[in-house]
Chain A
Amino acid sequence: MKIKKIILSVFLVLAVAAYAIYQRLGGSAKPVILPKNPEVPSNTPENTEIDADDAEYSNTSTTSTVNNTDNTKTNTNTNANTKNNTNSTNNTNSNTATNTTATSNTNNTNTTNTNTANNQNSQALYKDGEYLGDSIDALYGKVQLSVIVKGGNITDIKFLDYPKDDLNSKSISNQSLPTLKTEAIAAQSAKIDIVSGATETSDAFKKSLASALVKAKV
């Protein structure tokens, strides 16, 4: 029961944060998709034509993303750059006709339909600038982020404050499975002798990005 409560609280906080940003952005047609939020609003007008297996787009974005990482949490960047990617692929002038044409090139009828529908209310753009979200208590720590808008598009989401590694331990539960501890990953500065990792991590990033895009699709 306790675990259910925690999960519910976390979801609530994320929802509040999403709404806060949404409001700050002037309640435009496009809600901000928060990273790690599994409940992406179903009416999200994400006209993305990038498929999980579309290596070309993903590749391009990966390169720029890795350079952008800075101090921002990486998993945050996934979504932030997802936006970037979407914007650049979709053409910045939000021309409906252009978008639809581009989409049909992916040979995905479903995507085309969705995008056409979405394009109808895609003329609403954000005002340029950096928008600070409220600092929200997420039980295991404070969460605060800011959204950066350039050229009317969200270009980045920065986590200014996020639960630190050792404070946010929660548990996932499944009656038949053992309860395991989870945490948000965070960069460490410990002195080390050797590094263990998959040989080429950029592909993992690409896949992560692609899968996030799949989720963002209506």
Chain B
Amino acid sequence: MKQTRLLMGMPITVEICDSSVTQEALDNVFDYFDYVDKKFSTYKDDSEISEINNGQKQEKDYSQDMKEVFELCEQTKKETEGYFDIQLKSGKYDPSGLVKGWAIYNAAKILQKLGFSDFYVEAGGDIQVNGKNSQGKNWRIGIRNPFNEAEIIKAVSLQDEGIATSGTYIRGQHIYNPYEDKKPITEIVSLTVIGPNIYEADRFATAAFAMGKKGINFVESLKNLEGYMVDKDGIATMTSGFEKYLV
């Protein structure tokens, strides 16, 4: 059973291949994304993150999830030489670079707890796959051509892994380099990271993209993560272990 809904300003798709699948299970996942959106959306005035940014909420009053996300962001900042930074120049916080992967991973854990083993959760091009696809094979994921969204430029085979692609977004400069403020990232157009889960893949894809061309070397230096970077001239650079995933 496969369904797509528009939540958090992007299409979210869940497919469950287990025969025991129910509509309720899918609803559980979509409800969770809705919850995350209400809490972490910087576009919603009444979200918890907006309350924090507007000075209406003190750190001691943060919800458990908010505390967790802030801790994970702080940890990620340290692990990425400061390139992952949720604090904007204005002093406000925007944890959306981490929340998406974190939420997808949590959604997958919800499905696992419900007893499902063969499924994927995809939100805005970032994916967590578990088990096998409807044909009983590994999940096959295509990496979209950053220059032509109708094309894929690589196909990888995954099982119990996460894959995330960072790029530049039309809704403002979603990804920016904290060390060179206001400077748009134009050297590279797309960076895909495969990791043990979508949380790891997504946060490092975001940070590595902000590093520009050297981002792929950063991914290379990370254990259990592989990457595929496309620069503005259509030249791809891959990490040494990336090829093992190729279909």
Q: Which residues of A contact B (CB under 8 A)?
A: 35-36, 52-53, 66, 69, 73-78, 172, 177-178, 180-188, 190-205, 207-208, 210-212
Residue in B124, B150, B186, B220 whose beta carbon sits within 8 Å of that of A178 in the complex: B220
Contacts of B152 in A (CB 8 A): 187-188, 190, 192, 195
Residue in B127, B142, B146, B238 whose beta carbon sits within 8 Å of that of A205 in the complex: B146
Please measure, in the bound complex, the distance between the C-alpha atom of A210 and the C-alpha atom of B232, giving whole angstroms.
10
Interface digits, B109-132 against A, CB 8 Å rule (1 contact, 0 not)? 000000000001010111101000
Tell me if B186 and A197 are in contact (CB < 8 A): no
Q: Does residue B133 face the partner (Cβ distance < 8 Å to A)?
A: yes
Contacts of A196 in B (CB 8 A): 125-127, 141-144, 163-165, 192
Tell me if B125 and A208 are in contact (CB < 8 A): no
Contacts of B233 in A (CB 8 A): 35-36, 75, 78, 212
Tell me if B168 and A178 are in contact (CB < 8 A): no
Q: Does residue B217 face the partner (Cβ distance < 8 Å to A)?
A: yes
Q: Taking the nearest CB of chain A, how far is it from the CB of B209, in angstroms?
A: 9
Q: Taking the nearest CB of chain A, how far is it from the CB of B240, in angstroms?
A: 7
Q: Which residues of B contact A (CB under 8 A)?
A: 10, 13, 15, 120, 122, 124-127, 129, 133, 139-155, 163-171, 184, 186-187, 189-190, 192, 214, 216-217, 220-221, 230, 232-240, 243, 247
Residue in B129, B186, B234, B243 whose beta carbon sits within 8 Å of that of A210 in the complex: B186
Contacts of B187 in A (CB 8 A): 211
Tell me if A207 and B230 are in contact (CB < 8 A): no
Please measure, in the bound complex, the distance between the C-alpha atom of A35 and the C-alpha atom of B231, giving whole angstroms.
13
- Nearest A residue to B152 via CB reads A188
Please measure, in the bound complex, the distance between the C-alpha atom of A198 and the C-alpha atom of B236, giving whole angstroms.
16
Tell me if A211 and B234 are in contact (CB < 8 A): no
Contacts of B243 in A (CB 8 A): 181
Please measure, in the bound complex, the distance between the C-alpha atom of A66 and the C-alpha atom of B148, giving whole angstroms.
7
Tell me if B141 and A200 are in contact (CB < 8 A): no
Q: Taking the nearest CB of chain B, how far is it from the CB of A166, in angstroms?
A: 9
Q: Taking the nearest CB of chain B, how far is it from the CB of A185, in angstroms?
A: 4
Residue in A52, A77, A181 whose beta carbon sits within 8 Å of that of B147 in the complex: A77
* 7 CB-based A-B contacts, threshold 8 Å: A74-B234, A75-B234, A78-B233, A187-B145, A188-B151, A194-B13, A195-B142
Residue in A76, A178, A190 whose beta carbon sits within 8 Å of that of B155 in the complex: A190
Q: Taking the nearest CB of chain A, how far is it from the CB of B142, in angstroms?
A: 4
A187-B153, A196-B165 known, 7 other contacts, Cβ within 8 Å? A36-B234, A52-B184, A78-B233, A177-B217, A185-B235, A190-B155, A194-B141
Tell me if A201 and B141 are in contact (CB < 8 A): no
Contacts of B151 in A (CB 8 A): 74, 187-188
Tell me if A185 and B153 are in contact (CB < 8 A): yes
Interface centre among B149, B217, B220 (most CB of A within 10 A): B149
Tell me if B236 and A182 are in contact (CB < 8 A): yes
Q: Taking the nearest CB of chain B, how far is it from the CB of A84, in angstroms?
A: 15
Contacts of A203 in B (CB 8 A): 167-170
Tell me if A201 and B167 are in contact (CB < 8 A): yes
Contacts of A78 in B (CB 8 A): 147, 232-234
User: Given A180-B220, A180-B238, A187-B153, do A199 and B148 touch, yes or no (CB 8 Å)?
Assistant: no
User: Given A187-B145, A208-B189, do A198 and B140 touch, yes or no (CB 8 Å)?
Assistant: no
Residue in B139, B155, B167 whose beta carbon sits within 8 Å of that of A197 in the complex: B167
Contacts of B127 in A (CB 8 A): 194, 196
